Amino acid sequence: MITLKNILLKYAQRVILDIPELSLIEGRRYCLIGENGSGKTTLLRITAGTLKPDTGTIQGLPTEQVGYMPQAPYAFSFSVKKNVEIALDDDPNCEALALAALSKVGMISFAQSRGNKLSGGEAQRMALARLIAKPRKLLLLDEPTSSTDIRGMDLIESTLLDYNQACGCTLIFSTHSPAQALRLAEEVVFLDQGRIIERGPATQVLIDPQSEIARKFLRHWQM
Amino acid sequence: METIRQIFDLLFGVNPELRQIIWVTLRMSFFSTLISSVIGIPLGVLIGSNQFKGKRLLNRILSTLMGLPPVVAGLIVFLFLSRSGPLGTLKLLYSVTAMVIAQVVLITPIMTGLTANLISIKAPLIRETAAGIALTPLKRMLFTIYEVRVQLISTILVGFGRAIAEVGAVQMVGGNVQFKTRVMTTAIMMQTNMGHFEFAIALGIVLLLIAFLINSLVNRIQDRQIT
Q: What is the pLDDT of residue A24?
A: 95
Residue B142: C-alpha distances to residues B42, B123, B130, B145 (Å): 11, 11, 11, 5
**Cβ within 8 Å of B, A 58-77:** 64, 66-70, 72-74, 76-77
pLDDT tens for residues B45-71? 999 999 899 999 999 999 999 999 999
Closest listed residue to residue A195, CA positions, set A31, A46, A34, A48:
A34
> What secondary structure does DSSP assign to B55-78, as a single string?
HHHHHHHHHHHHT--HHHHHHHHH
* C-beta atoms of A130 and B134 within 8 A: no
Nearest to B129 among A45, A64, A73 (CB): A73
Our measurement of the distance from residue B158's CA atom to the centroid of its chain's CA atoms, rounded to an integer in Å, reads 7
Q: What is the pLDDT of residue B117?
A: 95
CA distance A192 to B227: 44
Per-residue confidence in pLDDT tens, chain A, 223 aa: 899 999 999 998 899 999 999 999 999 999 999 999 999 999 999 999 999 999 999 999 887 789 999 999 999 999 999 999 999 987 889 999 999 999 999 999 999 999 999 999 999 999 999 999 999 999 999 999 999 999 999 999 999 999 999 999 999 999 999 999 999 999 999 999 999 999 999 999 999 999 999 999 888 876 5
Cα four-point dihedral sign A60, A64, A65, A67: positive
How many other CB atoms sit within 10 Å of the CB of residue B209? 11
Residue A59: C-alpha distances to residues A4, A186, B59 (Å): 6, 22, 39
Q: What are phi and psi of A11, to 5 degrees?
A: -140, 120
Residues of B within an 8 Å Cβ radius of A? 125-135, 139, 143, 146-147
* C-beta atoms of A140 and B125 within 8 A: no
**Beta partners for residue A69, in sequence order:** A141
Mind telling me how many Å the CA of A212 is from chain B's nearest CA?
Answer: 35
How many other CB atoms sit within 10 Å of the CB of residue B4? 10
Q: Are B29 and B164 in contact (CB under 8 A)?
A: yes
CA distance B39 to B101: 13
A3 inside 8 A of chain B by CB:
no
Which residues of chain B make contact with A127, given a CB cutoff of 8 A? Answer: 129
Q: Are B103 and B170 in contact (CB under 8 A)?
A: yes
Determine what percent of chain B is predicted with pLDDT higher than 90.
Answer: 72
CATH number 3.40.718.10 is the correct assignment for the domain at B21-181: no
CA distance A53 to A59: 14
Residue type, B23: W
CA distance B178 to B201: 18
Q: What is the pLDDT of residue A220?
A: 81
- Which residues fall within 8 angstroms of residue B44, CB to CB, at 6 or more apart? B111, B112, B113, B114, B115, B116, B117, B118, B119
Which residues of chain A make contact with B131, given a CB cutoff of 8 A? Answer: 48-50, 68
DSSP state of B9: H
CA distance B165 to B69: 13
CA distance B113 to B118: 9
What is the chain A residue with the closest CA to B135? Answer: A87
Tell me the pTM: 0.83
- Give the helix, strand, coil percentages of chain A, each rounded to 5: 40, 25, 35
ipTM of the complex: 0.89
